[in-house]
Amino acid sequence: MTHRTQVAIVGAGPAGLLLGQLLHLNGIDSVIVENRSREYVIDRVRAGVLEQGTVDLMKAMGVSAGLERAGLRHEGVYISFLGQRHHINFPELTGGKAITVYGQNEVVRDLIDARLETSRPLYFEAEDVSVGDLDSTTPTVHFRYDGAEQEVRCDFIAGCDGFHGICRPSIPAGVLAIYERIYPFGWLGILAEAAPSSEELVYTLHERGFALFSMRSPKVTRLYLQVPPDESIDNWSDDAIWDEMLRRMTTRDGWKPNIGRITQKSVTPMRSFVAAPMRYGRLFLAGDAAHIVPPTGAKGLNLAASDVLVLGRALKGFYGRGSMEWLDEYSDLCLRRVWKAQRFSWWMTSTLHRSPDETAFDHQRQIADLDYLTSSRAAMTSLAEQYVGLPAEVSFESAGLKA
Ligand code: APR
Ligand code: PHB
C-alpha cells in the first residue's frame, strides 16, 4: 500500500508526537510510524521534569490538561552534601519561573490521545521500518503493518526514533560528526509506593556516590543511586536498595526518604552524545535520535521539545512561504541550545558523582564547587536559570502558536 503525506515522522516518543501535534495545528499533514506497541510506549518508565518552556509549549499546543491537573509545580531543588541540604529557589532567582514534575509516560499518553483525536495516522507495531531517497525531494518510509508492506511518500522525514532508532544510521558514513562521552557509572532507579518525604527534589553527593530523590505523585517516590555502569539489577535486593538509599540520602537533621513497596527497578548507563548536523537532505533528526544527555540535569525530554519547536517552525515556513530558509537553519539553531544543555548536564553529572579514577584533590574540588554553588547568589542563579530552561531559540508565534 502506498500513502502520501507531507511529513513522515518515525517514532512516537515525545519528539514525534509533539511534532505531529504542532504540524496538525499548522494544517500540515503527517504520518507517524512507531515500531513498539501503544502500551509499551506509554508504560516505559522515563524521566519526569518539565522545564517552564516545555510546560508553556504544551499549553500553547492544547495538550496540557493532564499536566495542569496532575503535574506537581516545584519552585526549587535541594543540593545535599556533607550531610546537609541546601535549597535553591527558582522563582526568586529567575523572575518567577519553575519546573513541573510530570512523568514522561503521562506526557506520551496525553499526546497519543491528542493524536488520535486529530484522526491523522499513527501506526504502532510497525515492523522493519526503513527510510530512503533522503537526498531527493520525495523521500520514503517503508514498513510492514499487519503483514502488509507499506510505503509512505513524503516531502520530509522527521527522525524522532530515539537513540537506538534507524534514522541516524541511515545517513551515509562520513556525513555526521559524532561527539560522545561515556561516564564510568550508571543509575539504579526505583519507583516506590511511598509518599514523597520532601516537596522538592534532592540531589545528593555522598562519600559513597550520587543519590537523587524525586517523585511521580503524592503517593509515589522515585529514587536513583549511582552504581557501576554494567551493574546487574539482580545484584540488588529491595532491602539492599533501601539500605544504600538511606545511607546516602539521610541528612544530619534526620531527613530521609519514606520507604515503601518497590514497584519498578532498573539500571541505565549514562552518556553524553551529539550527532551534527541534525539533518541529511530531507531527513531531520530531533530529540534523542540526535543527542543524549546524562539524566542529572533532567534535560532529555526538554531538548526534544525545543527541537520540535524549531522544526515545526521550519516546516511551517516551507509550506506557508515556500522557503527552505528556516529548514536550512534548523540544525545550527537547535545545536546552540543542545550544546548549552550538554554542558549543564555534564557539569551536574561531574559535580555530583564519584568517579572510580578521581583523586582526593578532585573530591575536595567537588565539595568546594557545591559549597560555592549553595552560598553564592550568582552561582545559584546560574543553576536556576539553566535548570528551569534556557530560552527557546525561536518564538512560539513563529511556529504558529499563541504565546
Ligand atoms: N521505527 C519506528 N519507531 C522507532 C524505531 C524504529 N526503527 N526505533 C525506535 N522507535 C521509537 C521508540 O520505540 C520510541 O517510541 O521511537 C521512539 C523514540 O522515543 P524516545 O526514545 O522517547 O525519544 P524522543 O521522542 O526523542 O524523546 C526524548 O526520551 O529517552 C527519553 O530521556 C529521554 O526524555 C527524553 C526523551
Ligand atoms: C526523575 O524524576 O525521574 C528525574 C528527576 C530529575 C532528574 C532525573 C530524573 O535529574
Judged by its nearest atom, the ligand closest to the C-alpha of residue 300 is 1
Give me the sheet containing 2-4, strands edge to edge: 2-4, 148-153, 140-145, 127-132
Q: Whole-model pTM?
A: 0.97
Residue nearest to atom 6 of ligand 2 (CA): 298
Q: Is the pLDDT of residue 21 over 80?
A: yes
Q: What is the mean pLDDT of residues 178-196?
A: 97
Coil/strand/helix, residue 207: coil
Q: Which of 288, 309, 342, 345 to mutate to test the pocket of ligand 1 (most atoms within 8 A of CB)?
A: 288
Given the residues 203, 224, 280, 330, select the one marked as catalytic: 203
pLDDT tens for residues 314-344?
A: 999 999 999 999 999 999 999 999 999 999 9
Q: What is the mean pLDDT of residues 149-156?
A: 98
Whole-number Å distance, alpha carbon 296 to ligand 2 midpoint, is 7
CB-based pocket (< 6 A), ligand 2: 47-49, 201, 214, 222, 295-296, 298
Q: What is the pLDDT of residue 46?
A: 85
The verdict on whether 206 is a catalytic residue reads no
Q: What is the mean pLDDT of residues 121-133?
A: 98
Cβ of 12 less than 6 Å from ligand 1: yes
Confidence of residue 250 (pLDDT cuts 50, 70, 90): very high
Atom of ligand 2 nearest to the CA of 214: 2
Q: Is the pLDDT of residue 292 over 80?
A: yes
Given the residues 123, 183, 330, 387, select the one marked as catalytic: 387
Atom of ligand 2 nearest to the CA of 348: 10
Q: Is the pLDDT of residue 20 over 90?
A: yes
Backbone angles phi, psi at 228, to 5 degrees: -60, 150
Q: What is the pLDDT of residue 162?
A: 98
One-letter amino acid of 98: A
Q: Please, is 153 exposed, middle or buried when counting C-beta atoms within 10 Å of its C-beta (0-12, 13-18, 19+)?
A: middle
pLDDT tens for residues 26-75?
A: 999 999 999 999 999 999 888 899 999 999 999 999 999 999 999 999 99
Judged by its nearest atom, the ligand closest to the C-alpha of residue 224 is 2
Pairing of the two strands 177-193 and 261-276: antiparallel
Share of the chain above pLDDT 90, in %: 98
Mean pLDDT for all residues in the chain: 97
Q: How far apart are the first and last CA of the chain?
A: 40
Dist CA 242 CA 142 (whole Å)? 47
Atom of ligand 2 nearest to the CA of 46: 3
The verdict on whether 387 is a catalytic residue reads yes
Q: What is the pLDDT of residue 9?
A: 99
Q: What is the mean pLDDT of residues 168-180?
A: 98
Q: What is the pLDDT of residue 403?
A: 77
Whole-number Å distance, alpha carbon 11 to ligand 1 midpoint, is 6
Judged by its nearest atom, the ligand closest to the C-alpha of residue 159 is 1
Q: What is the pLDDT of residue 155?
A: 98
